[in-house]
Amino acid sequence: DCLVAGDGEEAIFAACREGKVIDADGFKEGGKSPFYLTATQLEASAYPARHLIDLDSYNFKIDGVRASSIIAQLGCPFECGFCAGRNSPTLRQIRTRSSDAVIAEMVHMYQNFGIKGFMFYDDEQNLVNKEFIELLTKITAKQRELDVEWRLRGNVKAQLFNEEQAQAMYEAGYRKVLIGFESGSPR
């Protein structure tokens, strides 16, 4: 059994070594996990090994379209009460992938697995990624280039959600948007 503070892409190797003690320093204020991915490492990471799983048995759909998950960013600066990562400085560090890298993975999933639905497991897409509108515009353009319609789902921060984002999200294929709500009191 093992508890790791940090991102799983690097931590899995240490966690699998027998007798390895893994420091949980990343959960302390000012702490750094040795397994914390930088934005550069995230951008360079290989795609998940989807070919090793039975994607056909994965019964997840967005607006009736077969879908799978994708991650374009890690981290969120907020300390929302409903979030398990609110007390971890490591998890509040924002790391984003470029729009081109995200779209390349979407194209890979579409061309290799027939996936046309994408669930973005990113926190607050309309806040964390400063290039969110650029990403949406490029997703729309790529669909036109490929002559395909994708369906997307993801999270937004309600206070920052605006008409421009809503329009760009719809054009890119968003049909489901998730918004978390906090209570009016920090208690």
pLDDT of the residue at 122: 84
| Position 50 pLDDT exceeds 70 | yes
Looking at per-residue pLDDT, the higher value among 23 and 140 belongs to 140
Q: Where are the alpha helices (DSSP H) in the chain?
A: 8-16, 39-44, 99-113, 125-128, 132-146, 163-172
- pLDDT at residue 142, rounded to an integer: 98
Nearest to 63 by CA among 153, 155, 165, 167: 153
Provide the pLDDT for residue 136.
Answer: 95
Percent of the chain with pLDDT over 90: 41
Q: Which residue has the tokens 């994607």?
A: 55
Mean pLDDT of the residues in the chain: 83
Of 9 and 62, which is predicted with more confidence? 62
